[in-house]
Structure 1
Amino acid sequence: MVATNCKNRFSSADPHKVVALYDEFVALKSQADSLRAERNENSNAMKGKLEADRRAALIARGQELKDELAAVEERLNGVEAALQREGQRVPNLTHPQVPIGGEEHAAVLTEVGSQRAFTFPVKDHVALAEALDMVDFESAADVSGQKFYYLRNAGALLELALVNYAFNKVVSRGFTPIMTPDLVKASVLEKCGFQPRGSGTQIYAVEDSPLCLTGTAEVPLGGVYMDRILPEAELPVKMVAFGHCFRTEAGAAGMAGKGLYRVHQFSKVEMFVLATPEQSEALHQELIDIEAGMFTELGLHFKVLDMPSGDLGAPAFRKYDVEAWMPGLQRYGEISSASNCTDYQSRRLNIRYRPGAAAKEVGSDSDGGAEAAKKGAGKKGGKKGGAGGGSGGKTEFVHTLNATACAVPRMIVAILENFQQEDGSVVVPVPLRPYLGGMEVIRPPAKKQ
């Protein structure tokens, strides 16, 4: 089943190799344990008074055991590293309703609105934004390189408006607002299912450092509850974060990467949820409903797609994408996604819950550790083995889910291209106007006298 799943997901992972490495790891670990036990027996045998020949023999054997153990441990470390490396490449299992195949097999679940009929030649977002003095690609290329940009004037204000609009919408649905670090440890990225230092990676790694620039706030949000045991009563935990995203976009070229559509750095509002297995499917639907509600309110024409097996990425069990019509680019473009990763990330991050436990049953000593865990503070009590006075029942891994509330550059593309006017101005969607000081139309800034 695992091998077939890898094939369906176009994964190069080799589960048979993982099994072979695991068997070798177990055998070497057993051998190392036996050698340690014999070494201890040998050391104990040298205690007390011994004949010189007997002591010399024991010393010689002790040296042999030391050398043998060092060789076995070296092999064991190498096999363990290979096992971790190969094991991390194995993707999550796949929801039985997910279409099998590549991107062309995506199934349309919902379509909202229709393509606008223009009575004038349509411009793409690059032409519109540059004419409106909203963006500066040229200076950014000089300062940072290609696929970077400055947002200016209404462009800068529009980013802030989109972020605040999305934040307010999601927080009103019971999500805890969080601002996350942009740098995370490579080990945390790996536990979330990303490959930070492999060939073709999308991750920027800091040289001579364990840190990497994160490609999504999903990673630092997942790390908040790493190595924690939560009471079932506290689930689901819903978080929303504003973060900067950094991606190498290796291999991206052509019209698909034009202008703001595919860039190396951008701002994003990300939702992240911890849930029980029984809750996760309904929460997945809740996440896509939140996204669709916002995009509908903004007046966009879009489709919700059930993404096929070959387009899921390693962590996702099932993934919904939202693609909005972009008339300037003359195609639909992804503006959001929502993924149910089941226990793929939580097993690596070691995030567990205790079924049936109330808030007071899991935590640190008597200081309200469960409430502290909920707020992301006082980690000691929530650590594995740190529960005080709990029910002592078996723990289980939580399910993790993530969804994009607002990927700013893609939203700017969709807004500029869909709401452009014949004179080159752009009508501001009504829900964003309060966040732009009442601005109804984006026009070029007035020229200085």
Structure 2
Amino acid sequence: MTSNNNTARTFHTNNVAASQQQEHKAKNLPYNYNFEKMIEKQDEMKENIKLRELNIDLDQVLKNYEQYIQIDQEYEQVQYLRKEIAEYLAGKRTSEQVPIEIKNLIKEDLENKKADSWKVIGKEFKTKIQNLEKIKNEVYQELCEKTVKLPNFTEEGVMKFSKENSNQPNLVKYVGEKKETIPKLSHYEICEKLDLFEPANECSGSKFFFLKNEGVLLEVALQNFAISKLLKRGFKIIMPPELMKQSIVEGCGFQPRGEHSQIYRIENSNQEPTTTKNGETCNDSLCLIGTSEIGLAALHCNEFMPNFKGPLKYAGLSHCFRTEAGAAGSKDRGLYRVHQFTKVEMFVYCEPEQSEALLDEIVSIQEEIFSELGFHFQILDMPCNDLGNPAFRKIDMEAFIPSRLGYGEVSSASNCTDYQSRKLNIRYRSNNTTVYPHTLNGTAMAVPRAIITILENNQFYDENGKLGVKIPKPLVPFMLSGQDVIMEK
């Protein structure tokens, strides 16, 4: 490279000095992303991206990565040489210890530390560092924008099944018996007749609602029923903030920007810079969380856990907010697809070798909850094109909802491996090695979907022709009113 001053001096910094001659590993890679694994398994990732139906040019991402490594290496080398000059001029280095790159630049003035050529070289190095720093930052930002969109790898069996079955879900099993009810009203009609629900179109807009009377009691009962199950399983209950920094949302694998984002971003919410655990200043915009998963994943962000021994199990209770961009239709009327709802979420941090078994445990808890509520549901191993970016594998449970003439999702469970912990800089030490814990999440109770399923599958007419809904027996102790049925007034 040639400097931009009058001496037109040439820097040969591509040949790293002897003390630097090892494979260069850049510091502060975007989201701690494992690019070495990506390069090693790039064919697998390309197939993964194709099956997930994502518009990502992996070759371009890797090209940007190589460009960043190259510029970072050159930047570090120039910084190193500048430091060596300062050390020599301060008398901390002998002329024999001066790197050959500097000797080639200074030549006959090496022993004359007061020569003007030292000042010229100092200015040249300062200018070069400034230029490289600017280029490095630009390349880094470009790499960040591409890296944040990269998905996790996908479990081998899921990849194989998705490829062989045109990205259709793999039906694991059916659970429970399908009920035949008379009448066959939709949950929306039931809510109107029993005065459980009222749209909030006038004050909040479509897909917002007022829950009323026994509807509120049913909501609280479902929350407490799910929480009681999780407490018995060793989960610690957490109520996270419902506003999170944009960087946290992105770190969890969600996209808070873009036309089809499901995340609400709060305008003018980045006025107060904060300091993170690792000392960085951050003034991100705030976002409303779409799931308690975001808050529970953020609980240990930028944290080194010296005594970590998994699993750590958390149960999150929060409101969730989703734009539901592009979602519309008669089947989504009422409570099925709304902008705000309550959710009880399971979230687990664990050692890598534990995550597969813990996914099975989460699924078994979900199956127990919905079986006790009397749901008829199907368990599905979801295909590649239905996986969110963080998920390595995802299991969905879909309950039978008569008004939909089929099944609707009531829960999901995902093994995200180290995807989220890397992005959120959560790590621990094991055998003198830095390890990123695996994270898993699973819905214990998405309240509106559970209410829908209960109302539509437990409806009846009494002998006087009045509409009623039976409360599932395990839920009755959690009803503050103690009632086991909701009747039309």
Aligned residue in 2 for 1:300: 375
Deviation at 1:16, TM superposition (A): 1.4
Query: Which residue of the other structure, out of 151, 154, 175, is the alignment partner of 1:94?
Result: 154
Query: Which residue of the other structure, out of 406, 413, 419, is the alignment partner of 2:458?
Result: 419
Aligned residue in 1 for 2:20: none
Higher mean Cα deviation, 110-119 or 238-247?
Answer: 110-119
Query: Per-residue displacement from partner, 1:140-169 (whole Å, max 9, x unpaired)?
Result: 111111111110101111111100110001
Name the larger-Rg structure: 2
Aligned residue in 1 for 2:102: none
Query: Per-residue displacement from partner, 1:277-305 (whole Å, max 9, x unpaired)?
Result: 22111111110110111111111110010
Query: Which residue of the other structure, out of 180, 185, 197, is the alignment partner of 1:123?
Result: 185
Q: Distance in 1 between matches of 2:409 and 2:446?
A: 10
Deviation at 1:225, TM superposition (A): 2.0
- Counterparts of 1:232-381 in structure 2, within 5 Å, are 234-355=309-430
Aligned residue in 2 for 1:359: none
Higher mean Cα deviation, 313-322 or 3-12?
Answer: 3-12
Tell me if the contact between 1:103 and 1:311 (Cα under 8 Å) persists in the aligned partners.
no
Deviation at 1:42, TM superposition (A): 5.9
Query: Which residue of the other structure, out of 411, 424, 443, is the alignment partner of 2:487?
Result: 443
Q: Distance in 2 between matches of 1:228 and 1:42?
A: 36
Aligned residue in 2 for 1:80: 140
Aligned residue in 2 for 1:231: 307
Distance change (3 Å), C-alpha of 1:230 and 1:318: farther
Aligned residue in 1 for 2:297: 222
Distance change (3 Å), C-alpha of 1:36 and 1:434: same
Q: Distance in 1 between matches of 2:47 and 2:125?
A: 44
Aligned residue in 2 for 1:30: 73
Q: Distance in 1 between matches of 2:331 and 2:195?
A: 23
Q: Distance in 1 between matches of 2:304 and 2:88?
A: 44
Query: Per-residue displacement from partner, 1:298-343 (whole Å, max 9, x unpaired)?
Result: 1111001000111011111110000001112222100000111111
Q: Distance in 1 between matches of 2:134 and 2:356?
A: 44
- Counterparts of 1:11-26 in structure 2, within 5 Å, are 11-26=54-69
How many matched pairs? 404
Aligned residue in 1 for 2:443: 404
Q: Distance in 2 between matches of 1:230 and 1:46?
A: 42
Tell me if the contact between 1:28 and 1:76 (Cα under 8 Å) persists in the aligned partners.
yes
Query: Per-residue displacement from partner, 1:361-390 (whole Å, max 9, x unpaired)?
Result: xxxxxxxxxxxxxxxxxxxxxxxxxxxxxx
Query: Which residue of the other structure, out of 39, 43, 51, is the alignment partner of 1:8?
Result: 51
Query: Per-residue displacement from partner, 1:96-117 (whole Å, max 9, x unpaired)?
Result: 2213169961111120123222
SS for the counterpart of 1:31 is helix
Deviation at 1:45, TM superposition (A): 7.8
Aligned residue in 1 for 2:258: 198
Q: Distance in 2 between matches of 1:104 and 1:239?
A: 32
Deviation at 1:230, TM superposition (A): 4.6
Amino acid in structure 2 at the alignment position of 1:343 = D
Tell me if the contact between 1:10 and 1:310 (Cα under 8 Å) persists in the aligned partners.
yes
Q: Distance in 2 between matches of 1:45 and 1:52?
A: 9
Deviation at 1:223, TM superposition (A): 1.5
SS for the counterpart of 2:395 is strand
Distance change (3 Å), C-alpha of 1:124 and 1:104: farther
Deviation at 1:43, TM superposition (A): 5.8
Q: Are positions 1:174 and 2:234 aligned together? A: yes
SS for the counterpart of 1:65 is helix
Q: CA RMSD in A?
A: 2.4
Tell me if the contact between 1:14 and 1:86 (Cα under 8 Å) persists in the aligned partners.
no
Tell me if the contact between 1:270 and 1:405 (Cα under 8 Å) persists in the aligned partners.
yes
The TM-score, its normalising length taken from structure 1, stands at 0.84
SS for the counterpart of 2:364 is helix
Deviation at 1:60, TM superposition (A): 4.6
Tell me if the contact between 2:182 and 2:459 (Cα under 8 Å) persists in the aligned partners.
no
The TM-score, its normalising length taken from structure 2, stands at 0.78
Deviation at 1:44, TM superposition (A): 6.6
Q: Are positions 1:395 and 2:437 aligned together? A: no
Aligned residue in 2 for 1:114: 177
Amino acid in structure 2 at the alignment position of 1:206 = I
Q: Distance in 2 between matches of 1:178 and 1:162?
A: 17
SS for the counterpart of 1:117 is coil
Distance change (3 Å), C-alpha of 1:230 and 1:298: farther
Deviation at 1:421, TM superposition (A): 1.2
SS for the counterpart of 2:305 is strand
Amino acid in structure 2 at the alignment position of 1:133 = D
Q: Distance in 2 between matches of 1:34 and 1:231?
A: 37
Aligned residue in 2 for 1:164: 224
Q: Distance in 1 between matches of 2:249 and 2:350?
A: 20
Tell me if the contact between 1:305 and 1:321 (Cα under 8 Å) persists in the aligned partners.
yes
Q: Distance in 2 between matches of 1:51 and 1:106?
A: 75
Q: Distance in 2 between matches of 1:4 and 1:331?
A: 32
Amino acid in structure 1 at the alignment position of 2:359 = H
Ranges in structure 2 where 5+ consecutive residues have no aligned partner: 1-43, 92-108, 271-283
Ranges in structure 1 where 5+ consecutive residues have no aligned partner: 356-391
Higher mean Cα deviation, 30-39 or 13-22?
Answer: 30-39
Amino acid in structure 2 at the alignment position of 1:34 = Q
Deviation at 1:352, TM superposition (A): 2.6
Q: Distance in 2 between matches of 1:335 and 1:108?
A: 16
Aligned residue in 2 for 1:132: 194
